[in-house]
Structure 1
Amino acid sequence: MTDSVFIHNLSFLASIGVLDWEKNIQQKLELDVELMTDIRPAAAREDLKLTLDYAAISQRLIATAQAQHHDLLETLVEKLAQLLLEEFNTSQVTLTLRKPDAVPSATSVGVRITRPLNTPAQALRV
């Protein structure tokens, strides 16, 4: 399957970072999401219930990221991938999570992961 639904540059504030001062503020994060799915049933019936609702996905990702402090981008991105695989009809997710203000001389820094459904990473329960 080569179909995907994507969200590019989802921007939000969240509490993230290992330094003491970072634990008391919110910082800007940017997220790119690609979810592998079969869009043919939704396209044939023009039915949103048969595809991935990117508005609902965006809301769920932001709520999860803002629900608690995370020290590492790696922890948060794994948690978001697990959520997508468990709650939405996707066989694989690719996420890129950026922290644009982390390194002054860089546009942004971050991590990118790809996780298929039913992998050991899902069992981590981060």
Structure 2
Amino acid sequence: MLTIRLNNLRFHGHIGVYTEEKKIGQDLQLDLIIQTPINHNEIHDDLTKTLSYGDVYRQVAQIVTDSRVDLVEALAHDIIVGLRAEFSEKISQITVRIRKLNTPINGVMDNVEIEVTD
């Protein structure tokens, strides 16, 4: 088994419950942990035998850029569905963490984070 991690991907997304969040957008950070059934002994320095993290990044970037969902949980779900559709045979399990950096909460905090594993 091979684990691929993409850490602290950064995007400007237009998601949120409030109209202002969707209009102005906000900064998001994402982590992905992808478990694959790929045997590292069989890769032999051949990109076609593994999961290209460049392709994964581009797929996630497109999903986040196009998204207008209300909840970060829904965005995480869309990312999982999109990655499974594109790379189904190369993914056993996906964990998506999304951090909203500018939450409209009257309080002091660094961010709000959700984690979904499928």
Task: Return the TM-score normalized by structure 1.
Answer: 0.82
- Structure 2 residue matching 1:9: 3-state secondary structure: strand
- Structure 1 residue matching 2:32: 3-state secondary structure: strand
Shift of 1:101: 1.6
Specify the alignment match of 1:124 in structure 2: none
Q: Deviations over 1:35-94 (max 9, x none)?
A: 11124222xx20111111111111110111111311110111001011112211111101
Partner Cα distance (2:29, 2:18) in 1: 20
More relative contact order, 1 or 2 (CA 8 Å, 6+ apart): 2
Long gaps (5+) in structure 2: none
Percentage of matched positions with identical amino acids? 30
Partner Cα distance (1:68, 1:96) in 2: 16
Query: Conserved in 2, the CA contact under 8 Å of 1:29 and 1:98?
Result: yes
Q: Which consecutive aligned stretches of 4+ in structure 1 deviate over 4 angstroms post-superposition?
A: none
Shift of 1:24: 0.7
Partner Cα distance (1:31, 1:83) in 2: 15
Q: Give the total of aligned pairs.
A: 112
Query: Conserved in 2, the CA contact under 8 Å of 1:95 and 1:113?
Result: yes
Query: Conserved in 1, the CA contact under 8 Å of 2:96 and 2:117?
Result: yes
Task: Return the TM-score normalized by structure 2.
Answer: 0.88
- Of the structure 1 ranges 83-92 and 100-109, higher mean CA displacement relative to structure 2 is found in 100-109
Q: Alignment partner for residue 116 of structure 2, among 109, 113, 116?
A: 113
Query: Conserved in 1, the CA contact under 8 Å of 2:15 and 2:70?
Result: yes
- Structure 2 residue matching 1:105: 3-state secondary structure: coil
Alignment of 1:5 with 2:8, yes or no, is no
